[in-house]
Structure 1
Amino acid sequence: MNLDKFAAESLCYDPVHGYVPFVSEGTSVDELTERDIIDHPWLQRMRQIHQLQTAWWVYPTAEHTRFQHILGVMHLASRLVNQLYPSLKETCPDAPSRGYVESLMRMAGLLHDVGHGPFGHFFDSHFLQHYGLTHESLGAHIIRTELGDMLSRLRRNPFSQMEENERIDPEQIAWMIQRPQAGDATDRPKWLVFLRSLLSGIYTVDNMDFVLRDAYMTGYSQQSYDLERLLRYSFFTEKGLTIHERGMAALIRFMNVRAELFQTVYFHREVMAIDKTLEDLFADSRPWMFPGNPIEHLADYQGFTEFSLLVDAARWHKSENPQQADVGKRWQQLLSRNIPWRFVCERSLRFDEGESQEMTIFRSESFALAALRDVLPAELKETPVKIALNRTVFRPNTRGPSDHQNFLYDSAQKKIKELTTDRLFRSLPVSRLVCRIYAQDSSLAPQLAAALDRLVGNHAVDDLTNM
């Protein structure tokens, strides 16, 4: 038994993955370790950003942060490399050593969320998009400019070591964590393109961790899908990441549970009421929230977290600026869980192959709201109403640049096929849309529900005679 191995590794306990070795000590003064990167302020700020955006206000046990999640993703990256590296090397003989591939994947998992701001994806939609950014593109910039030197000095991980002439390329990590774009893989090696499917395909190190973690922390399920079986039947072929037909049931279970979490947790009706309140607050808070484009204010962004924003916003009501003081009073109401918007009704729509949400009145919240007001009685047309359109994608990446990242192995015919050829896979809808109406006066529910029924088609015009 190698007792030195235990002295060189640190274990952390994760309620989802158990005891996990997550750092390994270096062997020279010039060499950095994973611990150095984990301890960097850009990573430590993840401790102050909730994983569940605003759902932690609804699920009292879901207080976990992005920090626990990224450590879990880093650990899952090692588990996938352990399963997939032999087939990767067989299909891509020019692939680097296991030590390089594993360290690259671990760092991509650790850093994939480094660009997140307060309230996670909500911040993308209501702040970063004003500067043409997402948390992924901002994270890629942080990796290149702030963490690149440290990453290039990493030499090992708890399970493997890079070869003498290998150095982590931060640009590869920055590219891997971003959503695929048309033509962006043209000049990339095949092995790297294959590895990106573990971060942007149908089942990734990111979503495999957050499904287990969020299901556990909210009380939804302690073991929501069969991770072991999903890993066992995955491998690389000449086409890319492939799952054996024997693993399809596990994959479908994972995809269904992920969709169920969106419906029951991330898009919970009260979570959406909080988000609708936060939408207005974010729009009015921008002058005092952050000085501008985060890329131009990286030092400020490093210290800008959910915790810092909530502490600052709680003080704004004392401001001598009357506009800021008014916004501060509204923040106080939110922090006291005094939500002005009340859930009234909802309807669900299913979209299958060939059906497009973009061709319906539900293609955007503003369009759906205009359509709703059009069918309301005259006396209600100016009533304060909000619409939430929550889209859950069951079968992602079946179109566009993200396509062709996941494949199916048919053992009877010994052929690698598109996942869409599998009957179980085709039985899933492409997506499901839940349209919810929120109002400040819940007594209007019957009229608003009737108007929504007209929009979704649950009505008919009868003939005037028996003919």
Structure 2
Amino acid sequence: MDYSVEKLSEEKVFKDPVHRYVHVRDKVIWDLIGTKEFQRLRRIKQLGTTFLTFHGAEHSRFTHSLGVYEIIRRIVDDVFDGRPEWNKEERLLSLCAGLLHDLGHGPFSHSFEKVFDLDHEEFTLKIILGDTEVNKILSKVSEDFPKKVAEVIAKTYKNKLVVSLISSQIDADRMDYLQRDAYFTGVSYGHFDMERILRVMRPREDQVVIKHSGMHAVEDYIMSRYQMYWQVYFHPVTRSAEVILTKILHRAKHLYEKSYSFSLPPVHFYSLFEGNCTLQDYLKLDEAVFQYYFQIWQDEKDPILSDLCRRFMNRNLFKYVEFDPAKEYKKLAELSSLFAKAGLDPEYYLVVDSSSDLPSDFYRPGEEEERLPIHLLMKNGDIRELSRESEIVDAISGKRRTDHKLYYPADLIYDDRTKRNIKKQIRTLLEI
């Protein structure tokens, strides 16, 4: 039997808190889910350090990837099926790309990538095209099928309609993570009427369009994105945890470069520290590995590494104050000097963090080619960009808000057992 159309003898379902059920009938999809590369995503949290702010945010990239697959399955099987603009031959390709789109995410994605100058999308493509179980399954469909899947994820595939299902301003990726992240963080901001949006989706030559009658459901979706970024994704406590995580990795790398003798040699980090991380090295990394080292490093002789690891593992996070680095650079220089005099290395204990440095996702029509704007299908057949028809979307589209915080260890600033005068000066400058 042709592997590309082979079905399971019985439909498999995953019980899901967002979509109720994830349905799998295709043998290819079932086999991909069972690969070690895809199962690794169970050990990568969807929201990184957010679980230290919203205690329910323990969900994984695995659950999100299944959710994206399920939304695309519903679109291609229920919404697009039978429409002349949709080529049924692209069905399996769309499902595989949706399922595998996050395959290359690493532990605590954003901080990890920033410290070691890595790109999870590059590793996603390497997994799909490399010597992996995923590649072997995709290659059974056809010799060039892995390349096609990689092209969809890389947004270079010739059929832009397929690309738009996982990478546009209203794609399956966003529709899943907004609802899933809202559910697990316990907030109400990320909820929108996905059922209505799916009903009014229509395929066109190069992208999905939305019937004008569904505009209000899309407005709700855009507002959900806006609120989730400011209330959840950019939450200052989560950023505090990211600051500490980033500094742990920087410190460990610095010590390695100085030939420091770790009590537990960080063998899993060697290739990261040396800048030559192979695909096989990368696939051995997950958050269980990272937290194992952090647990052990709490007892390291190096006081900075041990302190930072204790803070991360026990949620003794840095406090923060509002700070404008452009206007208060002199204050920052003075604080750095005082921190050093107080015995606190400002490189690790005085950190400016800006929301503009984080992955952002506001609606900006026409600004990014790879993120096609949302288009409405008008009653007369014309296509109109969303913000030209919606006053609500026009009011918030393209608005860049930047939020700056200065993070510091309050417990050490308030500890007056040593260098009391210097710490008092620090508190005065911080206005705390």
User: Structure 2 length as normaliser, TM-score?
Assistant: 0.79
d(CA) in 2 for partners of 1:295 and 1:91? 45
**CA drift at 1:388:** 2.0
CA contact (8 A) 2:294 2:313 kept: no
Kindly report which structure 2 residues correspond to 1:188-227, keeping only aligned pairs within 5 A, or say none.
Answer: 188-189=157-158, 192-221=159-188, 224-227=191-194
**CA drift at 1:318:** 5.4
How many positions carry a matched residue from both structures? Answer: 382
Q: Is 1:90 aligned with 2:84?
A: yes
**Equivalence for 1:136:** 121
Secondary structure of the structure 1 residue equivalent to 2:354: strand
Kindly report which structure 2 residues correspond to 1:146-185, keeping only aligned pairs within 5 A, or say none.
Answer: 146=132, 147-154=134-141, 169-178=145-154, 180=155, 185=156
Of 352, 359, 367, which residue of structure 2 is paired with 1:387? Answer: 352
**CA drift at 1:445:** 7.5
Secondary structure of the structure 2 residue equivalent to 1:282: helix
**Equivalence for 2:37:** 42
**Equivalence for 1:123:** 112
User: Structure 1 length as normaliser, TM-score?
Assistant: 0.73
**Equivalence for 1:10:** 12
Residue identity (%): 27
CA deviation vs aligned residue, 1:229-259 (integer Å, no higher than 9, x gap): 1111111224532112222211121121122
CA deviation vs aligned residue, 1:293-336 (integer Å, no higher than 9, x gap): 687522232221011111123223556xx55x852453133201
Of 110, 116, 119, which residue of structure 1 is paired with 2:99? Answer: 110
d(CA) in 1 for partners of 2:396 and 2:239? 25
User: What is the RMSD computed on CA atoms of the aligned residues?
Assistant: 3.0
d(CA) in 2 for partners of 1:7 and 1:175? 31
Q: Is 1:331 aligned with 2:309?
A: yes
Secondary structure of the structure 1 residue equivalent to 2:54: coil
Secondary structure of the structure 1 residue equivalent to 2:191: coil
**Equivalence for 1:291:** 270
d(CA) in 2 for partners of 1:110 and 1:310? 27
CA contact (8 A) 1:83 1:231 kept: no
Q: 1:210 to 1:151 in 2, by over 3 A?
A: same
CA contact (8 A) 1:197 1:406 kept: no
Secondary structure of the structure 2 residue equivalent to 1:63: coil
The one-letter amino acid of 1:112's match is: H
Q: 1:43 to 1:221 in 2, by over 3 A?
A: same
Secondary structure of the structure 2 residue equivalent to 1:202: coil
**Equivalence for 1:51:** 46
Secondary structure of the structure 1 residue equivalent to 2:366: coil
Unaligned runs of 5+ in 2: 1-6, 257-265, 339-345, 415-425
**CA drift at 1:7:** 5.5
Unaligned runs of 5+ in 1: 27-32, 155-165, 347-367, 451-467
CA contact (8 A) 1:83 1:235 kept: no
Of 401, 415, 419, which residue of structure 2 is paired with 1:432? Answer: 401
Secondary structure of the structure 2 residue equivalent to 1:290: helix
d(CA) in 1 for partners of 2:109 and 2:205? 36
CA contact (8 A) 2:79 2:199 kept: no
The one-letter amino acid of 2:15's match is: Y
**CA drift at 1:449:** 7.3
**CA drift at 1:419:** 3.1
